[in-house]
Copies of this chain bind each other. A is one copy, B any other.
Amino acid sequence: MADVLHVGIAGLGNVGTGVVKLLQQNADLISRRAGRPIVATAVSARDRSRNRGVSLDGIDWVDDAAELATRDNVDVVVELIGGSDGPALTLARRTLAAGKPFVTANKAMLAHHGLELAEAAEKAGLPLKYEAAVAGGIPVIKGVSEGAAANLITRVYGLMNGTCNYILSRMEAERLDFATVLADAQALGFAEADPSFDIDGIDTAHKLSILAALAFGARIDFASVACTGIRAIASADIAQAAALGFRIKLVGLAEVQDGALFQRVHPALVPLDHPVATTMGSLNAVVLEGDFVGRLFFQGRGAGEGPTASAVVADLIDIARSDVRPPFVMPVADLEALPRASAGDRRGRYYLRLNVADRAGVLAELTAALRDTGVSIESLVQRGTSADGGAMVVMVTHEAREEDVLASLDRMAASPSVVGQPVMMHILDF
Copies of this protein in the complex = 2
Q: Is A309 an interface residue (CB 8 A)?
A: yes
Q: Is A152 an interface residue (CB 8 A)?
A: yes
Q: Is A60 an interface residue (CB 8 A)?
A: no
Q: B32 and A334: CB pair below 8 A?
A: yes
Residue of B nearest to A329 (CB): B33
Q: Is A16 an interface residue (CB 8 A)?
A: no
Cα of A400 to Cα of B362 in the assembled complex, Å = 62
Q: B310 and A151: CB pair below 8 A?
A: yes
Q: Is A193 an interface residue (CB 8 A)?
A: no
A263 nearest CB across to chain B (Å): 20
Residues of B within 8 A of A316 (CB): 150
Q: Is A256 an interface residue (CB 8 A)?
A: no
Q: Is A290 an interface residue (CB 8 A)?
A: yes
Residue of B nearest to A138 (CB): B296
- Within the complex, which residue of B273, B306, B330 is in contact with A293, where a contact is CB–CB below 8 Å? B306
Interface of A is mostly: mixed
**Within residues 139 to 178 of chain A, which ones have a CB less than 8 A from any CB in chain B?**
139, 142-143, 145-152
A304 nearest CB across to chain B (Å): 8
- Map CB proximity to B onto A104-147 as digits: 1 under 8 Å, 0 otherwise: 00000000000000000000000000010000011100110111
Residue of B nearest to A31 (CB): B330
**A301-B293 contact, Cβ under 8 Å, with A146-B139, A149-B317, A330-B33:** yes
8 A–B contact pairs at CB < 8 A? A18-B292, A29-B152, A139-B146, A149-B317, A150-B317, A278-B278, A296-B299, A297-B299
Which A residues fall within an 8 A CB radius of B? Answer: 18, 22, 25-26, 29-30, 32-35, 131, 137-139, 142-143, 145-152, 217, 273, 275, 278, 290-301, 306-307, 309-311, 313-314, 316-318, 321, 323, 325-326, 329-330, 334
